Amino acid sequence: MTRPKPATPDFEAALSELEQIVQRLEQGELSLEESLRQFERGVELTRGCQKALRQAEQKIRILAKKQDGEIVEQDFQTPEED
């Protein structure tokens, strides 16, 4: 069973892009306008990564919460998906 590809970059891709943005900003060679664009993109990526981490944490809680010892995976639905 395959899941559809997300519209936003996956966690690893977002983290990699974020690291590249940080490197470009630290070099200090970008114009002010480009620096602001890169910063805004970095904020967007950071929020996406934080959301992915929260969802993973919630999924772990759901998996670990079974009382009979059986581990059954169930998808975590965010309030936005309802």
Residue 48, in any domain of the structure: yes
Q: Is the pLDDT of residue 4 over 60?
A: no
Per-residue model confidence as pLDDT tens digits over 28-67 = 999 999 999 999 999 999 999 999 999 888 887 777 666 6
Question: The domain spanning residue 22 has which CATH number?
Answer: 1.10.287.1040
Range of the domain at 56: 11-65
Report how many domains make up the chain. Answer: 1
Mean pLDDT of the chain: 82
pTM of the model: 0.64
Residue 25, in any domain of the structure: yes
Question: Rounded to whole angstroms, what are the CA distances from 80 to 24, 38, 77?
Answer: 34, 27, 8
